[in-house]
């Protein structure tokens, strides 16, 4: 089926992530390696975008001031609590761009992590050790802040509270307001204290605007045939080719924090037999993989169902609606990049 014995498959990879690797990857993804506040182009029709740039710049100044502390007698400095910034908005309005720009603006030790990477860091090092690891940082940036279960709610609430008390500032992005985290996913009222604690840490900055990934663009590309996908994959030594169901099963064998290592060195992902999914666990793993592919700028070429039909209407009406819509937005952007990839010349 793959047309060549030399074609690589993601299902053959079994990545391991060492504690050292977890720390080393706490930087903005390759897609945002060269961004700055100057490269963010606000939409003139959306004044909240220009205002968000100013809010981020002000946050960076405050983060540095807080880390330096307040002078006391005999040259000692009093530790000041860190500040929090929460960038809220729809898909494709530049939240991650601004978060990464904030990371680069601030000097000194700092970390940039997805929400999943942060929870994995805490589980690998332990809660107390994780606090000690990050306690001297100027700031921690958390991209796509999500709370999928009560355990994560409690863990991250207490972790961030402890870091802020130690002078670490926290910036985060999300499509959900802090006080609404967890809404529709679990009994949020049982964890209201933790959710309110999180909300109290942050100043919320709203960013409005349409998804830049799809401005004036056509709908999802028509899927190719299985044979065409396999033939195109065979023309690249750094591409992978996988059956959709086999890939979904493989993703279930590892923690999502390993997905970044799973796609390391891959320049394009080819998938055959895509179809809508009805299992929420499978869907959430696909969301995590999509995020890693998008961060790395890896195009996707697929056969089967259109990628914008991957998640059912029932799923899109549930508590993870925003996650699924973000994944669709990113998948469509990646599939357009792969439209002519591996074509016969």
pLDDT for 115:
83
Q: Which of the residue ranges 72-76, 124-128, 213-217, 253-257 would you say has the lowest mean pLDDT?
A: 213-217
Could you tell me if 234 and 2 are in contact, meaning their C-beta atoms sit under 8 angstroms apart?
yes
| 10-16+214-337: CATH superfamily | P-loop containing nucleotide triphosphate hydrolases (3.40.50.300)
Residue 162 above 70 pLDDT?
yes
**Distance between alpha carbon 170 and the CA centroid of its chain, in Å?**
16
pLDDT one-digit tens code per residue, 90-141: 777 889 999 999 999 999 999 999 887 888 888 888 899 999 999 999 999 9
Q: What are phi and psi of 321, to 5 degrees?
A: -50, -50
In what helix (H) or strand (E) does residue 287 lie, and over which residues does it extend?
Answer: helix 280-296
CB atoms closer than 10 angstroms to residue 18: 10
Quick check: 206 and 86 in contact, CB under 8 A?
no
Two structure tokens written together for 22: 């977890």
pLDDT for the residue 253: 95
Torsion of CA 297, 37, 156, 83, to 10 degrees: 170
Helix/strand/coil percent split, the chain, to 5: 50, 15, 35
Instruction: Give CA separation, 280 vs 105, 284, 323, 324, in Å.
Output: 38, 6, 12, 10
Q: What is the pLDDT of residue 1?
A: 41
Is the pLDDT confidence value at 312 over 80?
A: yes
Mean pLDDT of all residues in 146-154? 67
The 10s digit of each residue's pLDDT in 178-190 is 555 544 443 444 4
Residue 132 pLDDT: 93
Tell me the average pLDDT of the chain: 85
Angle between helices 115-125 and 150-165 (to 10 degrees): 80
d(CA 111, CA 130) in angstroms, rounded, equals: 12
How far is Cα 24 from Cα 154, in angstroms, rounded to an integer?
26
CA distance 167 to 185: 32
* pLDDT over 80 (residue 176): no
Question: Which is nearest to 330 in space by CA: 281, 294, 285, 306?
Answer: 294
Fold of 44-208: Rossmann fold (3.40.50)
DSSP class of 260:
H
Tokens of 157: 């609430």
Taking only the tens place, the pLDDT of each residue in 190-219 is: 445 555 676 778 888 889 887 665 555 556
- Strand order of the sheet with strand 239-243? 239-243, 268-274, 300-304
Tokens of residue 53, six digits: 């740039």
**Domain residue limits, the chain:** 10-16+214-337, 44-208
Q: Are 97 and 203 contacting, i.e. CB atoms less than 8 angstroms apart?
A: no
Residue showing tokens 């606090």: 131
Query: What local confidence, expressed as pLDDT, does residue 8 receive?
Result: 94
Return the sign of the alpha-carbon dihedral for residues 290, 268, 279, 224. Answer: positive
């Amino acid at each position: 089926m793959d047309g060549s014995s030399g074609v690589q498959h993601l299902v053959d990879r079994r990545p391991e992530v060492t504690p050292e690797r977890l720390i080393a990857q706490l930087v903005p993804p390759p897609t945002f390696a060269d961004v700055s506040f100057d490269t963010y182009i606000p939409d003139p029709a959306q004044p909240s975008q220009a205002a968000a740039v100013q809010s981020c710049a002000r946050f960076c100044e405050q983060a540095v001031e807080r880390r330096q502390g307040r002078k006391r007698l005999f040259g000692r400095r009093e530790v000041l609590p860190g500040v929090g910034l929460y960038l809220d908005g729809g898909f494709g309005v530049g939240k991650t761009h601004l978060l990464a720009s904030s990371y680069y603006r601030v000097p000194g030790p700092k970390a940039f992590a997805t929400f999943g990477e942060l929870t994995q860091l805490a589980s690998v090092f332990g809660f107390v050790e994780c606090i000690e690891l990050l306690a001297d940082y100027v700031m921690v940036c958390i991209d796509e802040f999500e709370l999928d279960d009560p355990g994560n709610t409690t863990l991250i609430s207490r972790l961030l509270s402890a870091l802020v008390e130690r002078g670490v500032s926290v910036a985060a992005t999300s499509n959900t307001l802090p006080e609404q985290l967890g809404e529709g996913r679990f009994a949020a009222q049982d964890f209201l204290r933790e959710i309110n604690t999180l909300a109290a840490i942050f100043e919320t900055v709203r960013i409005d605007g349409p998804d830049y990934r799809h401005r004036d663009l056509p709908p999802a590309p028509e899927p190719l045939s299985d044979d065409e996908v396999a033939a195109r994959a065979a023309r690249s030594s750094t591409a992978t080719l996988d059956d959709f169901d086999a890939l979904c099963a493989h993703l279930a064998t590892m923690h999502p924090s390993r997905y970044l290592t799973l796609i390391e060195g891959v320049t394009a992902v080819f998938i055959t037999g895509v179809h809508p999914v009805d299992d929420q666990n499978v869907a959430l793993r696909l969301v995590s993989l999509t995020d890693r592919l998008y961060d790395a700028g890896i195009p996707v070429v697929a056969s089967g169902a259109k990628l914008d039909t991957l998640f059912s209407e029932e799923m899109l009406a549930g508590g993870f609606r925003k996650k699924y819509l973000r994944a669709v937005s990113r998948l469509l952007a990646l599939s357009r990049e792969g439209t002519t990839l591996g074509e016969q010349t």
